[in-house]
Amino acid sequence: MSKTLFSPLSVGALELPNRVVMAPLTRSRASQPGDVPNAMNARYYAQRATAGLIVSEATQISRQGQGYAFTPGIYTDAQERGWQIVTDAVHAAGGRIALQLWHVGRISHRALQEGGQAPVAPSALRSDTGESFVVLPEGPKRVPCDAPRALDTAELPGIVADYARAAERALRAGFDMLELHSANGYLLQQFLATNTNQRTDAYGGSLENRARLVLEVMDAIIAVAGSQRVGVRISPHFTRHDIADTETEAIHLHLAREFDRRGVAYIHVAEPDWAGGPSLTADFRKQLRQAYGGRLIVCGNYTADSAQARLDEGLADAVAFGRPYIANPDLVERMRRGAALNKPDTATFYGGGERGYTDYPLLQEQVAA
């Protein structure tokens, strides 16, 4: 039988009922104080449990790793308990969910950092276009990112340990898998990119050195969870947040080979076209497939038809959808039936309550009406 979006797929230790993945979506609705996941978040994710796999919104591994107000963390007991509410709800609805582990690096602001400290980065280079979302005395607002300080070599084992502790908490909270966020211009991609990493120690300079921290973090997470419960998100050719990597394909192919050697369950490719960039070339897709033998998940401006075409090429095993999942909790059923999609309300993407979050109608409700 030919594989379709609706065919089952094994991914590491999981058996997915279909190849439709819910991509990570920042929605900024964690409870305060403490950036704690809550019952409303649980309802939101449970509504979307028919996805083959849900990847949670990016979740900071530490206070230092936060770049936006109201995003959830996974470094306190309260956050761990909050995520347990979410995973219980998803599992009760028959779903599977991975937690995305995140450190923003320089895409942050002193208002979010412990004691008003500067954000951290591979090198002390500010993102000219990056923005952070903070709560100031006059209210919540978007602000330019603050200038970061360069991480000292001696601090890097602590960053790795933060990822490992977050992985331990995520497993205790009931997540089925873990996804390492090494994409979208955040800390780990800042180490990868030639323009944001100007270090002269063992973590800068050569391609292998720039990839070192990503692989050390991956090894630490695998030591906690086992390789078959771990995936990773990458974004070759990503240019937002002032990323300009002259070796983007070479370093990501190097990582793919290293992930393959470690038995990582999947690579989740965030394609640059979602952010207005070019499509990945067929040649690079083929090289990625040759470099890595695990499951490949792609995510971009896909429709049901273009997703199926990508599967037919044999250059992806599953397709992740982002914005369509905001407004269509039953996206799998809508795609299966060729039904129209609800349009998302952009005004309610970030922050707020149930409106624009858990109140989008299901197809069966619209048909009944």
Distance in angstroms (rounded) separating the CA atoms of residues 178 and 293: 19
Closest CA to 232 of 224, 245, 246, 221: 221
Query: What number of other Cβ atoms are within 10 A of residue 146's Cβ?
Result: 23
Determine contact, residues 346/54, Cβ cutoff 8 Å. no
Distance in angstroms (rounded) separating the CA atoms of residues 79 and 194: 35
Distance in angstroms (rounded) separating the CA atoms of residues 333 and 364: 10
Distance in angstroms (rounded) separating the CA atoms of residues 104 and 120: 9
Residue 134's H or E segment, with its range, is strand 131-136
Residue type at 99? L
Distance in angstroms (rounded) separating the CA atoms of residues 309 and 307: 5
Closest CA to 69 of 103, 109, 102: 109
Annotated catalytic residue 186:
yes
Distance in angstroms (rounded) separating the CA atoms of residues 229 and 318: 17
Closest CA to 102 of 64, 69, 140: 64
186, 203, 350, 360: which one is catalytic? 186
Q: What is the SS3 assignment for 96?
A: coil
Distance in angstroms (rounded) separating the CA atoms of residues 132 and 68: 6
CA dist list (Å): 264 to 196, 252, 288, 311: 26, 14, 14, 20
Q: Cite the active site residues.
A: 186
